[in-house]
């Protein structure tokens, strides 16, 4: 008799637990739908999208003291004007130039980078950080070179 009562009590508790799990999964799926719609709302927002042909350029071997230049070509594939606020480089030996006027959707431009290898030797890996009104706001470009000391 006690065993029968215990089994009925156990079955009752098990059914209550199962009901709660069902309720939780309904709540969770509702929360998931809300999250999806908020992501959708973000993507409908007008934002510029900065796309580069390439984000890394390797100058290869070069003699110490050489000054080299490279242009990183980009396109604004978003649906709002692109505004580059500033460029920051990892070293004073690297300088970046950028368009100061807004870049319209569909328009293209260049980030011009100059690297001065004076007083440098060996493998060089420099970063150029672009700060703009894109999402994410920071995009990093890289230049590389193997600087060799010229033989007399």
Do 57 and 30 belong to one domain? no
Q: Say which CATH number the domain at 107 has.
A: 2.60.40.10
Residue-wise pLDDT for 17-48, tens only, equals 434 334 333 333 333 333 332 233 355 678 99
Under 8 Å between Cβ of 148 and 141? no
Number of domains in the chain: 2
Beta carbons within 8 Å of 119's beta carbon, 6+ residues apart? 64, 93
Q: Are residues 54 and 16 in the same domain?
A: no
Q: How far apart are CA 71 and CA 4, in angstroms?
A: 82
State the average pLDDT over residues 71-80. 96
55 and 124 in a single domain? The answer is yes
Are 41 and 60 members of one domain?
A: no
**For residue 132, what pLDDT is reported?**
96
In the structure encoding, which two tokens stand for residue 54, read together?
């390439």
C-alpha dist (Å) from residue 116 to 18, 112, 126: 69, 13, 11
Q: What is the domain range of residue 118? A: 50-148
Same domain, 41 and 56: no
Alpha-carbon torsion (63, 64, 65, 69), positive or negative: positive
- Structure-block tokens of residue 102: 């807004």
* Residues 59 and 101 both lie in one domain: yes
Q: Are 122 and 60 in a shared domain?
A: yes
Q: What is the per-residue pLDDT for 151?
A: 83
Residues 31 and 58 in one domain: no
pLDDT of 130 higher than 50: yes
pTM over 0.85: no
Kindly tell me if the per-residue pLDDT of 78 is higher than 60: yes
- The neighbour count for residue 48, using CB atoms within 10 Å, is 21
What percent of the chain has pLDDT above 90?
Answer: 66
pLDDT of residue 27: 37
């Amino acid at each position: 008799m006690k065993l029968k009562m215990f089994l009925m009590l156990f079955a009752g508790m098990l059914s209550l637990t199962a009901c709660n799990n069902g309720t939780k999964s309904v709540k969770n799926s509702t929360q998931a739908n809300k999250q999806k719609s908020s992501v959708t709302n973000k993507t409908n927002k007008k934002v510029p999208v900065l796309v580069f042909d390439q984000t890394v350029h390797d100058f290869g071997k070069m003699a110490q003291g050489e000054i080299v230049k490279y242009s990183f070509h980009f396109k604004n594939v978003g649906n709002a004007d692109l505004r580059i606020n500033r460029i920051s480089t990892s070293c004073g030996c690297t300088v970046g130039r950028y368009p100061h006027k807004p870049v319209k959707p569909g328009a293209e431009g260049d980030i011009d980078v100059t690297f001065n290898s004076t007083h440098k030797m060996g493998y060089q890996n420099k970063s150029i950080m672009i700060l703009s009104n894109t999402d994410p706001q920071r995009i990093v470009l890289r230049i590389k070179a193997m600087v060799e000391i010229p033989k007399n």
